[in-house]
Amino acid sequence: MDAQIKFGTSGWRAIVADEFTHRNVRRAVTGIARYVAEKNPNGARIIVGRDPRYMGETFVAIAAEILAAHGITPLVIDEAAPTPAISFEITRLNADGAINFTASHNPPEYNGIKFNSSDGAPALPEVTKAIEAEVLTADNEPVAQPPSAVRANTEHIDIKPGYLARLRDAVDLKAVAKSGLKVVFDPLWGAGRGYSDLLLREAGVPVTTVHDVRDVLFGGHAPEPEDHLLEEARAQMKKTGARIAIATDGDADRFGIVDEDGTFLQPNYVIALLFDYLAETRGWKNGVAKSVATTNLINALADFHKVELHETPVGFKYIGELIKADKIAIGGEESAGLSIRHHVPEKDGIIAGLLCCEMVARRGKSLGEQLRDLFAKVGSFYPLRENFRLTPEVKAQFTNKLGSELRDFSGRKVQEIVRTDGLKLIFDDGSWVCYRLSGTEPVVRVYTEARSQDDSTKLSAVAKDWIFN
């Protein structure tokens, strides 16, 4: 029996040669092709791209063949390309969407398919549900013949120039060069290679790049720009005297930032700092967005800058909608995804890193110093995210507990219950806990935030205890 193709918050992902097979890729792409063809009976153009993973070129060729058979013109990117660059190219070319073969920050044994709509944003749930239905319909047809009698021709495109031009407009690279800032860039062998470093060098910024070759195994681990995977970037910082290291994940939609003293700055803080910086330097006061699991430091800054706060479910597609409507200056998720006003409605790890360079250069302070200034301005916040695996029995019991109407949580008074995504309990002292069950594995994600480091440790302990007891 064929595996069910299910698109989650960031597309469909599976292990290569297990569920991510040639047959299942054909089924998924056929579903997309049928959906696009039905919506565009007079013809459509779909961009087809990939990250540097194993067999990416083969999957792109399969997708192009299926799209062409359905009368849809495939616009094929020959080189590995960042997800945000693909998003930008959709709108620049006025294309009808994009199929992107990537598993983002997942381990190398995975691959996946992201589908972006004609607006450049990740497909909304109603779109992915329609595509899943088309997959099942095609599966049940005796002979799955493409509806179009006219086969489209494949075109090849280079998306890099247009996207780089956009970044030159969005980031003050001259200010970075003028400051004398030295930078280390780590693309983690991913699709971000040759983007951030190219722009910085072009502007005259001294930059050292690590992991600047294609490696389909990503050094033997997930291409995730997290603290423990950025040691080589830290080593180069010490060697070159760089004051910041910027990193991107496998498809360059997520970011990782290391401060001048080697401290990894968690994404919650990066989003908050950039929000404050953009409000200060660009004068953007149209709003800010964050997922329900992202730090309330954003809330405090929204009050400080007197702008509207939008709190969304987890999944950047919801923030993308606010960017399209120009309702926010910046939107971000604690999982290291952000984008800004007048930019792509998709996570962009490249612009995040470049803006951090600009922020350090123009403010003349380290990120740690800037964060202390932020705490002095609006108060301190200490967010934490932890994952816990559950047995089937514990998961069943815990799922029932998520429906509870709690008024007390281990001695903390519950001020508000939020069910935007999972269960979020906000306490009267400003701390909070949020529980989200994974849709793909027996894991609960636990997000906590307290107003002091000591209380953060205590809250984390009671949040864990509530799961298992």
- Mean pLDDT, consecutive 10-residue stretches, the chain (469 aa), reads 79 93 96 96 96 97 96 97 98 98 95 96 94 93 64 94 98 98 98 98 98 96 96 98 98 98 98 98 96 97 98 93 97 97 98 98 98 98 96 92 88 93 93 88 93 96 94
User: By the 8 A CB rule, do 334 and 447 touch?
Assistant: yes
Question: Which run of H or of E encompasses 88?
Answer: helix 83-93
Taking the C-alpha atoms of residue 170 and residue 389, their distance in angstroms, rounded to an integer, is 41
- What order do you get walking across the sheet with 423-427 strand by strand? 382-389, 443-450, 432-437, 423-427, 412-418, 408-409
Instruction: Give the dihedral sign, CA 185/186/189/190.
Output: negative
pLDDT attached to residue 4: 85
- Residue 150: its pLDDT value, please? 72
User: 288-291 and 309-312 as β-strands: parallel, antiparallel, unpaired?
Assistant: parallel
**pLDDT, position 148:** 58
Question: What are the Cα distances from residue 416, in Å, to 404, 405, 458?
Answer: 13, 10, 20
- Residue 191 tokens read as 């699709």
pTM score of the predicted model: 0.95
Beta-bridged to residue 443, according to DSSP, are 389
Tokens found for residue 337: 């995804």
What whole-number distance in Å separates Cα of residue 294 and Cα of residue 311?
9
> How far is CA 456 from each of CA 291, 376, 452, rounded to the nearest angstrom?
20, 19, 6
Structural domains in the chain, CATH included, are 12-158 (3.40.120.10), 162-378 (3.40.120.10), 382-468 (3.30.310.50)
